[in-house]
Amino acid sequence: MSTLAPGLTADELAGFPNDGKRYEVVAGELHMAYTPSLDHQELSARVNGSLRDVVIPRRLGRVVVGPVGVRFSDQDLVKPDIVFVRSERRDIRRDDAIHGAPDIVVEVLSPDTRAYDLTEKLRLYERYLVPEYWIFDPVGFTITLLVLTNGRYVETGRIDGVYRSSVLLEFVIDPALLFAGLDDW
């Protein structure tokens, strides 16, 4: 992840080229990432499938796979890997982006975005009160589940070997199943 020019707005990102890179602005500072790895994409697809299996049959809201714009302010627009927005909060969806805090944000770590996802994006999601932030590491085969509690993220561990969402109680991830075979090819 490289930091480019400071002082940009979310509206100015619309003029950036569609060149295969992901551009984001946090606190007016432009960030750019390269195309994710195959392991990143495979893990993202698995998490997306698990989340959709819970949400779609029950009509609980929308799962959007990224990069999808999430605009928190004129100075803060990021593109998480996956977002979930509950049906009753559909008013934050616009044609160009999600305007406001999704109910769940998912980031799959990549070597060039790892530090950024674990620091700046974590602080951004916490500041704008995103209820859950899931972080998946395709290299370390780990999951970090952060739940907003009294305005701060608290890490929630496994219970009976699985991670369970507090936003969607039916959304459960078993790390053994999720990461199975990821390093086979």
Cα separation, 185 vs 166, whole angstroms: 33
In a domain, 56, yes or no: yes
- What CATH number does the domain containing 155 carry? 3.90.1570.10
pLDDT band, very low/low/confident/very high, at 1 (cuts 50, 70, 90): very low
- Report residue 151 as tokens: 């305005």
Q: Please give the average per-residue pLDDT across 36-50, as a whole number.
A: 91
Map residue 167 onto helix, strand or coil. Answer: coil
In a domain, 147, yes or no: yes
Contact 99, 73 (CB under 8 A): no
In a domain, 10, yes or no: no
Mean pLDDT, the chain, whole residue set? 89
Measuring CA to CA, which residue among 182, 12, 167, 177 is closest to residue 103?
Answer: 167
pLDDT at 185: 65
Measuring CA to CA, which residue among 74, 77, 81, 79 is closest to residue 25?
Answer: 77
In a domain, 19, yes or no: no
Reported pTM:
0.89
Residue 6 has pLDDT above 90, yes or no: no
Distance of CA 90 to the CA centre of its chain: 18
**pLDDT of 93-126, one tens digit each?**
988 789 999 999 999 998 888 998 999 999 999 9
In a domain, 119, yes or no: yes
Q: Which domain holds residue 51?
A: 37-69+80-179
In a domain, 8, yes or no: no
pLDDT band, very low/low/confident/very high, at 5 (cuts 50, 70, 90): low
Cα separation, 57 vs 53, whole angstroms: 7
Amino acid at 138: P
In a domain, 170, yes or no: yes
Q: Please give the average per-residue pLDDT across 70-86, as a whole number.
A: 93
- Determine what percent of the chain is predicted with pLDDT higher than 70: 95
What's the distance, Cα to Cα, between the start and end of the chain in Å? 26
Structural domain count, the chain:
1
pLDDT band, very low/low/confident/very high, at 33 (cuts 50, 70, 90): confident
In a domain, 52, yes or no: yes
